[in-house]
A and B are shown apart, each in its own frame.
Chain A
Amino acid sequence: MHRVYLDNNATTPVLPEVFEAMRPFFGEEFGNASSIHHHGQQTRAAVEDARESVAALLGCRAPEIVFTSGGTEADNLAIAGLVGAGDHVITSSIEHHAVLLACRHLQEIGAKVTILPVDGRSLIDPADVRRALRPNTKLISVMMANNETGVLQPVEEIGHIAAEADVYFHTDAVQAAGKVPIDVKRIGCHALSISGHKIHAPQGVGALYVRKGIHIRPLFYGGRHERSRRAGTENVPGIVGLGKAAALAKRWLDCGDDKKMAATRDYLQQGLLAQVEDAAVNGDDAARVPNTTNISFDYIDGEALVIALDLKGVAVSTGAACSSGAIEPSHVLLAMGLRPDQARASIRFSLGKQTVTEDIDLALKLVPEVVARLRDLSPVYRKAALRS
C-alpha cells in the first residue's frame, strides 16, 4: 500500500543527510566525548560542532545549549530547574503536557501555578500574562507554537513583560523550531526547548537553550557533562543528528522554503474546505507555523476518521493518545472553546520536509471520501441534513 505521512507534528522521518551524518558515530567514531584520548577528542569535536549548529538555528551562543533526551526533558529541566517551593509560575492551558504536568508537579511540591486561558484562535493575551504577575512570580512558560493548531503565540510581547517584571521566561519551541525563524534575543526568553525528532533528527535527543549566567538546577546527578546542567554520557549519534538537522533547517529557512511549505499546506486546506461541507479550520485567523492545519469535520468522530484513513494509507492524528492508545478529546481544542463533539471531530494534518504535492493529492482524494462515508453513517448528520 502506498502510504502518505501527514503527522509530522508527532514525529518526522530522519532525513537521509541526517542519517549519513550520524552513521560514523554508530561505528568507527565510538569514543566517549569526555575521554581525553583520540577517540574522545573525535566525538567531543562532533558534539561541539552540533552545539554550534543548534546555537545558530536559535540565534544564541554554543555554550548556552544543553543537550537533553528530548523536548520533554528540556521542558522539565527549564521548569523544575528554575522554580522551587514558594515560587509562582504562569503558564497557559494549551501547553504540551511536558509543561503542564511539570507545573502540576511543582504545585505538589509547594509552588503556585496560574494557568492562563486562550481565545477562540488558541491565542494567549499578553495582557493576561501581565495581570497574572505576582511579587513571587519566578517563571512564565508559554509555548512558541501550539502542536495541535500550529498557532504562533505572542512570545516577543511576553518576553517584554518578563523583562519588565524581572521574571524568567521559558518557551517550548518544539513545534516552532525549524518551521519559523527563531531568535532567542528577539523573543527575550531565558530558556527555550527544542526536540530533535520534530525537525528530522532521531527520537531521543533535544536541547534546552539557557541564557548565559542563569543557574539551572539539574534534573539528575552523575557527572559534569553539559557544564553540570545535564549529567550522563552524551548521546553522540543523536546529538550529531540534531546538529545536522538544525543546520539543514536553518538553510531551509534562509532559502524561504517555509513559504513553499505554507503554500502546500494551504493547497491541502483549501482543497479540503472546497470539497467538504461543514468543515472549518481551527486557529485559521491567527499566524501559524507553515506545516500545520487542524480541521473540524462536523458530525464525524475523529477517532474513526483517523483509523479509516490509516487503513487506506493516510496517517493523520486527532486529540491526544492516552496510555492505552485510545484517543481523548484535545485539551487544546477544548481550551479554545470547542464543544467536546467538535473537538472529537477535529483532525490535525502536519507536513514535513519530505512531503510532496502527490501526498497532498492523495489526501485530497481520500479524506473527502472517508468523511462522506462516516457522515452517511452518522445519525446526527442525517438529522442535520433533514433540517436544512
Chain B
Amino acid sequence: MTRKTIAVAMSGGVDSSTVAAMLRAEGHDVIGLTMQLWNQRRLSGSEGMPESVQGRCCSLDDVYDARRVAQQIGIPYYVVNHEERFERDVIRPFVEEYVSGRTPIPCSLCNNHLKFDQLLIVAQQIGAERIATGHYARVAFDEARGRWLLKRPADSSKDQTYFLFGLTQEQLSRTIFPLGEMTKPEVRELARHHGLALAEKPDSQEICFVPGGDYKRFIDAYLAEQGEALPDTAGDLVTTNGDVIGEHGGVHNFTVGQRKGLGVATGSPLYVIQISGAKKQVIVGGEEHLYSRTLRARRVNLISVDDLREPMRVAVKIRHRHEPAPAVIEQVKTERTGDDEILATFDEPQRAITPGQAAVFYDGDVVVGGGWIA
C-alpha cells in the first residue's frame, strides 16, 4: 500500500470519524476537514423555530465531536467555510423548489453542486491527492469501459448512491469511500476498536439544516430573515376531473402522494396527485391516480456510460426509500427547449413519482446515472 495524503470530510458522526481513524491506522497522511455550511443560529428563535436548535449539520456539537476525534487520532483538522456557496447552491434552490410546488432533495443538491466540488478543490489546495467520505457506496475503475464506476455498497440497507448520482468521472477518480465494503454494525465496532467516544452516537436522519424536520417553518423563517415575503401560492384544490373542491394555503405545503392535511372531507381517501406551481393548483384524487408508468429526468449525469445511444434496461429508483423498479431508459429531447432528457418507462406503474426528487438508474449494483424528475 502506498502512503497517500487524504483529506477526510468529517461531519462529527460515527461514519466519517471511523473513516479518518481507519485511514490513519493504515498509515496515510490524513487531514480532517469539516465544511461549515450553515449557521444553525441564524434562524433559531425566529418565529416558529426552536430556540435551541438540534439540527445536525454544522452544529457546534458536531464540529466539537469531529475536532475531538481528530485530536484523539492525531491528525490536523480544519473547518472550512462554505456558507455563502451553500446558501446560494442549496438553500435558495431548496426554498424555490418548494415554493414552485416541487419536493427537492437538498442532500443531492449539496453533493452535486457543492460538497464534492469544494472538497476536491480544498484538497488540491492543501496538497491532498484524494478525498474520503463516510458515504456507503463503492467506487471502482472499469478497465473494459475505461470509466470510473459508482456501485452500491455491501450493506444495501445503508446505500447512499441515490444521493451521489451527480458525481463526475473526475470526482470519482479522486474519491474513496472506505465504508463501501462494511456494514453499519461493523463500522460501529471499528469505531469502538479505535476508542472513539462517539461510537454509539445515533445516526442523523433529517435534512441537516432543518431542525426538527419542519421544512415549512424553515422556509417561512428563512424568507422572513431575507426580508422577502413568501410568494402567495394559495389556490384551488382541484380533482383529477377538474372540479374545484376547496382551497389550499400554498403549494409548498404539499408533496405528491400526501394524504393528510388536505382539509376536505370526502367519502374515499384523497391523495395529492400533482402540484401545479404555475396555476397554484393542488390536484387531488384517488390512490389509483398516483400511479404512473413514465417519468422524465432532467439535468442528467451519466456515470457508467458516456452516452445513451440506444434504450437501456435498468432499474430506476425514484426516492430514497424506494426499491429500484425495472424500466427502460432512453434519451429524448424536451419538447419546448430541445434539451436532452431521459425518458424512463417502467414495467409496472410506480406510485407517487414526485417532481424535484432524483431518478437514479441502476444496472445491478452499478449506477448508470441519474437526473432530476421533471
Contacts and interface: CB of A to CB of B under 8 A. Distances in A.
B215 interface: no
Contacts of A373: 125, 127
A328 B78 contact: no
Interface string B62-83: 0100010000000010111101
Interface residues of B, number: 20
Contact of B122 (A304, A322, A327, A328): A304
A356 interface: no
A311 interface: yes
Contacts of B156: none
Interface band, chain A: 10 to 19
A326 B36 contact: yes
Contacts of B121: 377
A304 B31 CA distance: 13
A310 B36 contact: no
Interface string A374-386: 1001000000000
B60 A324 contact: yes
A7 interface: no
Contacts of B197: none
Contacts of B125: 301, 304, 307-308, 373-374, 377
Contact of A324 (B63, B122, B124, B126): B63
A333 to B, nearest CB: 15
A213 interface: no
Contacts of B78: 307, 310, 325
A172 interface: no
A327 B79 CA distance: 8
A258 interface: no
A325 B76 contact: no
Contacts of A311: 31, 76, 126-127
A147 B126 CA distance: 27
B187 interface: no
Given A303-B81, A304-B122, A307-B78, A324 B127 contact: no
B80 A303 contact: yes
Contacts of B122: 304, 307
Nearest to A376: B124
B58 interface: yes
Given A325-B67, A326-B36, A308 B126 contact: yes
Most chain A CB within 10 A, of B36, B39, B60, B81, is at B81
A324 B31 contact: no
10 contacts: A303-B81, A307-B80, A307-B126, A322-B81, A324-B36, A325-B63, A325-B67, A326-B36, A326-B79, A377-B125
Interface of B: 31, 34, 36, 39, 58, 60, 63, 67, 76, 78-81, 83, 121-122, 124-127
Given A304-B126, A322-B36, 15 more contacts: A307-B126, A308-B126, A308-B127, A311-B31, A311-B76, A324-B34, A324-B36, A324-B60, A324-B63, A325-B67, A326-B81, A326-B83, A373-B125, A373-B127, A374-B125
